[in-house]
A and B are shown apart, each in its own frame.
Chain A
Amino acid sequence: MNPLLNANNLHVKVKNGGEILRGLNLVLNPGEFHVIMGPNGSGKTTLGLTIMGHPNYEITEGKLLFEGEEINELPPDERARRGIFMAFQSPEEIEGVKILDYLRLLLEKVKGVDRLKSHDMVMEKAKEVWFTEKELARDINVGFSGGERKRFEILQALLLDPKLVILDEPDSGVDVDSLSLISLKLHEMQKEGKTILLITHYGRILQHVDPSRVQVHIIKEGKIVMHGREKLVKEIEEKGFKKVFEECGCNE
């Protein structure tokens, strides 16, 4: 069986900037739960955006395969339609576009849901992540608090029902209760068989996730330099990246 996603010797250059990913390798099999950690600026968001097809990130070498097919040049909407989803670290504000209208449009255009059913579907999922009807009448991300933004990203994942869910720091800036909710949703997604690629700096987000299934990768200067299990998350939280890198001889 093909891996769901296979990043093979990925080199990525950012528009008006230098090379950020420098020969990164990552294999995600269906149903697996992967955590990516790494210092600020090491290339985690870049990896996510490259998988999603952001036009500013150019793959200069290497291959990105999804379900065995190369997607290096595929536009973002087609990647989304194939089942790739990313919950963004800093989601965009879109003025004048009402959340409810937008989410219904997504269901209708992307998932082919009947117009008569889309409203109820949105309402049902919205409730699961604590959105009220009144909040759905607001504009996309406009004036949202940090926690609201993160929950809104999760809501879109619930509605689009993707195969691969990339989450870029879904735990930053959220309160204890929201953190627990998001962790629970991650657990549910995994139970449904979705493949998870979670970018984070902290282990708390894993509170509801089965630790035995978690695989951890550490990225440093655009390359994955360490692999481990859940223990590695704790080790980094205790010692910090500098020390861990020294001990593993990753600085060479």
Chain B
Amino acid sequence: MSDLTVQDAKSIIEEQIETLKKRNKEPEWVTELRYKGLKAFFEAPHNDPVIKDPLDYIAKAEEEMYPEVKSLDELPPEMLALLDRLGIAEVEKKYIAGLAVQSDTSIVLNDFLKEWRKKGLIMESMEDAVRNHPYMKDLFMRQFNPYESKMAAYHTAVWNGGVFLHVDPGLKVPMPLHLFFLIQNSAMAQAPHIIIDAREGSEVHLIEGCTSPVLVRHSLHLDMSEVYVGKNANVKLSVLQNWPEYVHTRPMTRAIIEENGEFINTTVGLGTGRSNIANPKYIVKEGGYVELNGIILGQKDYYVDLGGEMDLEGQGARGMNASKSVIMDKSTVITRGLIRAKAPKTKGHISCDALILNPEAKMETYPGLASEVDDAELSHEAAIGKIREEELFYLMAHGLKEEEATQLIVKGFVNPLLKDIPLEFVIEIRKIIEMAVSGGM
């Protein structure tokens, strides 16, 4: 139980809302939504197997925004050093692409090629976006209802930071865009709100990197993403999570995929944090396609639960939910997927593969398929097991040490799901896997 009473909590959140309202000079409808969230927070259901009392994570907003910085060089030195260590500056240079960094409750950097803005690519902080574009009212919090859970309600009340990404009809962005979250303060809930608005026939790939430079005790990361994939649009959203062990993450993702649109959502949970629970939901219209690729590295005593609900609403809509989990130490990994075929000629597939590296690690999988029509093709497969002795022997017989051989097998196991991740990140991901495997041996 938290030390806070409900009354305390109410006034803290109220104070936060007022601070955010003033700080952001936000339009009235945004503040109204926040108060709706506050009300919902005390009425909405809460069932989280790890976070018993969300009041423990109630956080204060920062007094001031960081000054607007236009390039990497203008960042505060400690932040620069950090980005360097993470190899982000390097990645940014290579792609000459957009990079935004969100630190705690503020966007620190928003560095973009000006031309792309002129061509119709908007990437700005969510605070700016709700001020700048009246049509945000039709996009913001349209795929969520604050009453569905306390987490959603709390996010609605105190969301801060995040990005708005808009791509004009027909615009194809050739390079991936990067967004990094850095948590620096402890005991705070970071609740960024992300909206991707990809109009008809557009193409874009957003990579979110989540990491935390210091060990922040019991932080809660409560991000919410709303994705609009227009007709014939092609959107990729890759989320690389590398949280330290004290962060609890509850990413909330929703997407609507319009006619013949395509949405590839990859989530790589390398450092999943103390616990990570997500149940993204997707609505797919006629001829549309959605793919959820989940890579999970279960370590220590972490708890990871990755779901994924797909509603195939239009004729010929397709959904694919694939996960690969590497489960070490005493971690628990649960994967579930649910595909509902609601229109003719729809297709859905759930596949769940897991490598269990320690007898004390736990894995559960619950694939769900539901069909309301008679000509849908729905299937699922699961393969859960240890590293095969013969495989290990084959590699060791050629001179690789047990550790090297295990690393190779694990990297090979997750490899098929990394197809949309740029090589620089894949190299980084492989290094993290190697370290995790060695640490677990």
Residues of chain A having any CB pair with chain B under 8 Å: 52-56, 75-77, 79-81, 85-86, 88, 91-92, 94-97, 102, 105-106, 109-110, 139, 156, 160
Contacts and interface: CB of A to CB of B under 8 A. Distances in A.
B394 A91 contact: yes
Nearest to A162: B399
Interface in B377-402: 388-391, 393-402
Contacts of B389: 55-56
Contacts of B416: 95-96
Contacts of B404: 105, 109
Given A76-B393, A105-B404, A95 B413 contact: yes
A92 B388 CA distance: 10
A94 B398 contact: no
B396 A77 contact: yes
Interface residues of B, number: 24
B412 A92 contact: no
B400 A77 contact: yes
Given A54-B393, A55-B389, A97 B398 contact: no
Nearest to A53: B397
B47 interface: no
B145 interface: no
B399 A80 contact: yes
Interface in B392-422: 393-402, 404-405, 408-409, 411-416
A106 B399 contact: yes
A76 B391 contact: no
Nearest to A102: B408
Nearest to B430: A101
Contacts of B399: 77, 80-81, 106, 109-110, 160
A53 B409 CA distance: 20
16 contacts: A52-B397, A53-B397, A56-B389, A76-B393, A92-B394, A94-B408, A95-B413, A96-B414, A97-B409, A97-B411, A102-B408, A105-B408, A109-B401, A110-B400, A156-B398, A160-B399
A92 B396 contact: no
Contacts of B413: 95-96
Residue with the highest number of chain B CB atoms closer than 10 Å, among A52, A55, A92, A110:
A92
Interface string B94-138: 000000000000000000000000000000000000000000000
B411 A96 contact: yes
Given A92-B388, A106-B398, 12 more contacts: A75-B402, A77-B400, A77-B402, A88-B394, A92-B391, A94-B412, A96-B412, A96-B416, A97-B408, A109-B399, A110-B398, A139-B412
B400 A97 contact: no
Nearest to A80: B399
